[in-house]
Amino acid sequence: MRKRQPKTYARLTHPLVRDSRDEPFRRATWDEALTRAAAGLGAARGAFGMFSCARATNEMNYVAQKFARVVMGTNNVDSCNRTCHAPSVAGLSAAFGSGGGTSSYEEVEHTDLIVMWGSNARFAHPIFFQHVLRGIRNGARMYAVDPRRTSTAEWAESWLGLNVGTDIPMAHAIGREIIHAGLANRAFVERATSGFEEYRQLVEPWTLSLAEKVTGVPAAAIRELAHAYARAERAQLCWTLGITEHHNGTDNVRALINLSLLTGHVGRYGSGLQPLRGQNNVQGGGDMGAIPNRLPGFQDILDPPTRLKFETAWDTVIQPHYGLNLTEMFEAMEERTLRAVYCIGENPAQSEADSEQAVRRLRALDFLVVQDIFLTKTAQLADVVLPATAGWAETDGTTTNSERRVQRVRAAVTPPGEAREDIDIICDLAARLGHDWKYADAEAVWNELRSVSRDHYGMTYERLEEHQGIQWPCPDVARLEPTYLHGRLWESDPADRGRLAPFGLVQHDPPVDLTDEEYPIRLTTGRRLDSYNTGVQSGGFASPLRRGEYVELCPEDAERYGVVVGEEVRVSSRRGTVLAPVWIDTALRPGLAFMTMHFPDEVDTNQLTIEANCPIAGTAEFKASAIRIEKLPAPIQVR
């Protein structure tokens, strides 16, 4: 067996440039690198896109989107939120008008029921999971809905091991059962929602026995979850990528939200909806406007008074239409209408579905600037590489977590070499392109944001310090709002209740990449506790836990293929082939395999995944590919 050591990346310590892509990089001064970057980007006005960093601060994301909108005149700005929770934001916005998770971590400790749906929080959100465990200790019951019996599921009272991509049948059957058992919260449905009758008709065919057939979960277990959720006094429904990373991710999210509307488990202390966001600041990146359809404060670009407010504040003209999202920017590269990219702290060469295609598109750009803390595979494709300080521990500012809590972060260690803060680099580039923004420090950026975003206005740095972080919305400098959103839905006066929350009328739509005789195994991909995303940031430390990449199979499948732990096999999908050693895991069932995205330099899992995107959110179906596994011929014995 070949020994696979995860690749380690060295921190970037000085700028790198090259005259053509065939040449190696050479070290450059900041002045030369910035002049080149400004020339290359400036020449691409009208065909420019920006990827902004979900790990860097709010202040950095605010300045980055301002660079795209003011300096480059475009709304083409996005981040890895697109590969991840964009369907949650789209689904929650459609239902409630705002895309944030509705409750706080504290409420998870004071609830009666926790449903972890398509979420392996024990591995991926270990801090949040501490709150879950406290909730369980306080008497909450927990259910896990996941094709794998994950480490999270091991803590649950009941594990519903559904087939990949059958969440809508499961949710609809739960909804139907709640209605038929007379457990719907009729009063809430009437006062706060719209479209109930259509929803009732939509879910009517989804009997427990039909759902059992489609999902593979026994009818009795589905019924039990339906009754437990509807009868609970307070309930938290948490979901993550098992729901969103599908070609119909937004529909999946709507199907879950429907259950909260049916039971009134939203808008009250202890009852809510929690999409656990991915990176430390992916919530903040979107809030700061580093997305193509929203200005800072999650304000709609299509709204003329909103645009006017920002045009006045920034002395500019804002394009009156949505920009391209990350997925659409990659498509525009193919069509050659997007010619230059400024990529800050993202590694799409390894994180995009069908990575071979993504790399080909990045290579074909006229100009690529990468600003990162490591020389990633994406950076290796660039014309100019700019070394940044890390948003964590090397930079002052704020970040916003999954419960919408804005918290201060501080520079505590000296950055390596000539690395500079993201904000300073962006501002220097802006200045070279004719926009002289003067920010004394991160707080000055934050105060500019406060002046244009009502939801953030009440959060001065001083108050953030005093309260150890504050959740948005916080429009008032003297008051704090409730920890949960949408309390208005419970108001007795219809005028205070505002807009009704519509049921999502969504249909089951199985994964695009069908399994068949040639590709008989369903591959789902995700995370392990010991590694982070494309491995750039977590590859550098030794861990007894980290065992590199494997294709994980259940014992029955391993036996069927005649393979043992550590044996290298060929894994192929309709898009590509990789070699990976086998791991045997009883968390899986026959016909289901699991791989991570953590070791792309050793095993490039995303050569296998399919770029089938959710038409509403642009998120790819990372969670469902069809593969085949082939045993390699025995090596020739040399005597």
Ligand X SMILES: Nc1nc2c(c(=O)[nH]1)N[C@H]1C(S)=C(S)[C@@H](COP(=O)(O)OP(=O)(O)OC[C@H]3O[C@@H](n4cnc5c(=O)[nH]c(N)nc54)[C@H](O)[C@@H]3O)O[C@H]1N2
For binding to ligand X (CB under 6 A), which residues are involved?
Answer: 53, 55-56, 80, 83-84, 117-121, 123-124, 145-148, 150, 164-165, 167, 240-243, 245, 278-279, 344-348, 351, 371-374, 376, 388, 390-391, 422, 524-527, 529, 531-534, 536-537, 597, 605-606, 609, 622-623
Q: Are 234 and 112 in contact (CB under 8 A)?
A: yes
3-class SS at 518? coil
CB of 238 to Mo ion, least distance (A): 15
The burial of 576, by beta-carbon neighbours within 10 Å (0-12 exposed, 13-18 middle, 19 or more buried), is given as middle
CB of 535 to ligand X, least distance (A): 7
Q: Which residue is nearest to Mo ion (CB)?
A: 278
Q: Which is nearer to Mo ion, 278 or 289 (CB)?
A: 278
55 interacts with, out of ligand X, Mo ion, none, CB within 5 to 8 A per kind? ligand X
CB of 533 to Mo ion, least distance (A): 7
Q: Are 291 and 77 in contact (CB under 8 A)?
A: yes
Q: Which is nearer to ligand X, 203 or 362 (CB)?
A: 362
The contacts of residue 165 (CB under 8 Å, 6+ apart) are 246, 510, 511, 623, 624
The contacts of residue 126 (CB under 8 Å, 6+ apart) are 529
Contact pattern for Mo ion over residues 229 through 268, marking x by CB under 5 A:
----------------------------------------
Q: Are 338 and 325 in contact (CB under 8 A)?
A: no
Q: Which amino acid is at 600?
A: P
Phi, psi of 578 (to 5 degrees): -135, 160
Q: Which is nearer to Mo ion, 488 or 527 (CB)?
A: 527
CB of 352 to Mo ion, least distance (A): 12
> Which of these, 331, 346, 246, 339, lies nearest to 619 by C-alpha position?
246
287 interacts with, out of ligand X, Mo ion, none, CB within 5 to 8 A per kind? none
117 interacts with, out of Mo ion, ligand X, none, CB within 5 to 8 A per kind? ligand X
DSSP line for 485-500: S-GGGG-SSHHHH-SP
Which residue among 84, 156, 256, 610 contacts Mo ion (CB under 5 A)?
84
CB of 553 to ligand X, least distance (A): 14
CB of 531 to ligand X, least distance (A): 6
What distance in Å separates the CA atoms of residue 396 and residue 443, rounded to the nearest whole number? Answer: 9
What distance in Å separates the CA atoms of residue 439 and residue 464, rounded to the nearest whole number? Answer: 20
Q: Is 179 in the site for Mo ion (CB under 5 A)?
A: no
What distance in Å separates the CA atoms of residue 207 and residue 304, rounded to the nearest whole number? Answer: 47
Q: Which is nearer to ligand X, 153 or 203 (CB)?
A: 153
> Which of these, 317, 300, 299, lies nearest to 308 by C-alpha position?
317
What distance in Å separates the CA atoms of residue 12 and residue 382, rounded to the nearest whole number? Answer: 14
- Return the residues of window 388-417 that contact Mo ion according to CB under 5 A: none
515 interacts with, out of ligand X, Mo ion, none, CB within 5 to 8 A per kind? none
422 interacts with, out of Mo ion, ligand X, none, CB within 5 to 8 A per kind? ligand X
Q: Which is nearer to Mo ion, 267 or 348 (CB)?
A: 348
- Return the residues of window 264-303 that contact Mo ion according to CB under 5 A: 278
Contact positions vs Mo ion (CB under 5 A): 84, 278
